[in-house]
Amino acid sequence: MKTSTSGVVGFLGLGVMGREMARNLAQAGYSVRAYDIVSGAGESLRQYGVDVVNDIPSAVSDADIVISMLPDTPQVDEIVRGPQGLLSHPPRGKLYVDMSTIAPEATRNLSQALAAVGVTMLDAPVSGGPIGAKNGTLTIMVGGEAAGFAQATPYLQAMGTTLNHVGGSGAGQTVKLCNQLICGINIQAICEALALARAWDINLPQMREVLLGGSAASWMLDKLGPAMIDGDSSAGFRIDLMMKDLRLVLEAAQKHPVPLPATALVATQYQNAQAYGEGANGNQALFKVYDRLTGQQTAKAN
């Protein structure tokens, strides 16, 4: 197993999460060659010694490990199967870790295709959002072969603090989708509680404090509750991304049929937010749906 921080990382996808993760790898001592389809997306990384390149082969060909942080399944498919992708340009180190949140079944198919050219693929989606990415404190859920996990671990440790190998190919994505299902339903529950309390003129900040001391306490109520109460819609984890993840949950529940009525209902609420042009808002701004349903607003609503 690798123990030093020497090594070349090909990093694909320099958005809200990826650019912070690439920076952490560079600051941990790795040589990072980074690519994003949007030219200029990685400019801020040059000051950390990241080599920002203009195409996928330049980023991946000499890499010991390739890491991607892309929006959804089609983009990951493109960087694997596309004309410039990993099947045509397998990395020197034969190891690929996809940290995006995508479909578990597609992950398995891509993993099998890559195995045929000798490349091990891990799925390693994350929880912790932009702050976790910035601070290198992400929770990382890894699916794939144990040997690949051991090889990837030092690199993952530069980006996260909680690493768990949860099973074979696609298992990381499945666990991440379960994480999203719980988060989405929990936010919905908080919206309902806040809307009811607001209608009954309850002091919402005080109610949040009270509930955090009891069995209704949750990460969402703790971290996102204040922004919900203040009507602060600023983005952390975006509504568009949550809707994408809930879609992936519902697709997975069709493949191996499992009724998920609460998830289906919450997805409708997120669609309502998107229909009102609120997809770029932070997840906590699902509460705006309740502003519309009840005709009430919180004091500082924007």
Least distance in Å: CB of 35 to ligand NAD? 6
Helices (H), the chain: 18-27, 56-60, 73-81, 104-115, 129-135, 146-157, 171-199, 204-212, 219-223, 225-230, 239-255, 261-275, 287-294
Residues that bind ligand NAD (CB under 6 A): 12-18, 35-38, 41, 69-71, 75, 78-79, 100-101, 126, 129-130, 236-237, 241
Q: Which residue type, as a one-letter code, is found at position 104?
A: P
Crossing angle of helices 104-115 and 73-81, rounded to 10° = 10
Catalytic (active site) residue 244: no
Q: Which is nearer to ligand NAD, 65 or 79 (CB)?
A: 79
By beta-carbon distance, which residue lies closest to ligand NAD? 15
Least distance in Å: CB of 76 to ligand NAD? 8
Least distance in Å: CB of 201 to ligand NAD? 34
Q: Which is nearer to ligand NAD, 31 or 73 (CB)?
A: 73
Helix/strand/coil for 202: coil
Q: Which of 176, 244, 255, 288 is catalytic?
A: 176
Tell me how far apart the alpha carbons of residues 301 and 281 are, in angstroms, rounded to a whole number: 13
Least distance in Å: CB of 302 to ligand NAD? 20
Partners of 96 in the β-ladder: 66, 121
Q: Which helix (H) or strand (E) holds 34?
A: strand 31-35
Which residues have a catalytic role annotated? 176
